[in-house]
Structure 1
Amino acid sequence: MNENGNKYALAALKDKRATLSGEIADMKKQIKWREDQLAHVDATIAIFEPGFDVDSLPLKRPRKRVKLFKQGELGRLIFDALRRSGEPMLTADVVTAVMEAQGYESEARSAFGPRVRGNLAYQLGRGTVEKTGIGRDTRWRLSDGE
């Protein structure tokens, strides 16, 4: 076996193992902390309702949030797209403009679409955008004050 050819691969593998070991140790600390917190909550429940079987409670799946935008960034991207357009835009066109501004391909549409629609609805409630039409024919534009 060529020892010189393997030294870089071996160094990379050792580094990867050290990284994974560190992550596992950190996760074990997080698990221990959560188990301690769970014990405190269980004890508090027992004070309010002695004899309650806490194991009978269903597990709640944690929500995983994918952070695609910094605080306020999506709204700014939407406003920029609407300003550049100069005319009301279809929701799909707003999504496309935001994706292009971020440098994403069409495969990301399923992640961007709901976020853009949600932000448009939020902006509509704030009065910063106006909506005409329904469904796929919905068009958006900046409010006169924007």
Structure 2
Amino acid sequence: MLSGLVPKRAEIAGQIDHKRAELRKLVTNLDAIDAAIRIFDPNADVGAIPNRQYLPRHAAFRDEMMRHAMGALRLAEGPITSRDIARVVMQGRGLDPDDAALGQTIRKRVGACL
């Protein structure tokens, strides 16, 4: 069991380091933009600017997941897995059904939808 946990811990620690580096880069970019805004308007309150909502990759339109998932269930001739439903959803949305990482994401969204 320990032999599986050590590599998993190393993987997660590496992801944390990578995300911290991305965060530092974003903060640096934001500081540069704030400085540019203050050049043109020294009295600007950049803290009052509302944040824009960050959309997840491959965000679906309203009720799109439900429509595709329910369509897959209607067409099923027997029991169907969430993986099968996710594949139908991906095909319906024009996404690559062979992309394993995206398939996992869509499968989680299908589960939440159902």
2:34 corresponds to which letter in structure 1? D
Deviations 1:100-133 (A, max 9, x none): xxxx6235555654x35xxxxxxxxxxxxxxxxx
Q: Which amino acid aligns with 1:27?
A: K
TM-score when normalising by structure 1: 0.43
List structure 1 segments (4+ residues) > 6 angstroms apart after TM superposition: none
Q: Which has the larger radius of gyration?
A: 1
Cα distance in 2 for partners of 1:12, 1:112 equals 35
1:46 matched to 2:18: no
Q: Quote the residue 1:11 is aligned against.
A: 3
Please give the secondary structure, in 2, of the residue aligned with 1:63: coil
Question: How is 1:105-144 mapped onto 2 (pairs within 5 angstroms)?
Answer: 105-106=84-85, 113=92, 115=93
Give 1:61 shift: 1.6
> Using the alignment, how far apart are the partners of 2:49 and 2:91 within structure 1?
35
Question: Structure 2: which 5+ runs fail to align?
Answer: 60-67, 73-82, 95-114
Amino acid of the residue matched to residue 106 of structure 1? I
Q: 1:35 to 1:10 in 2, by over 3 A?
A: same
The structural deviation recorded for 1:64 is: 1.4
Structure holding more strand per residue = 1
Which residue matches 1:5?
A: none
1 CA distance for matches of 2:91 and 2:51? 29
Q: Structure 1's 49 and 111: CA in aligned 2 closer, same or farther, altered over 3 A?
A: farther
Q: Which amino acid aligns with 1:29?
A: A
Aligned residue pairs: how many? 74
Q: What is residue 3 of structure 1 aligned with on the other side?
A: none
**TM-score, scaled to structure 2:** 0.54
Q: Which residue, out of 17, 20, 40, partners 1:28?
A: 20
What is the CA–CA distance in structure 2 between the aligned matches of 1:13 and 1:105, rounded to whole Å? Answer: 30
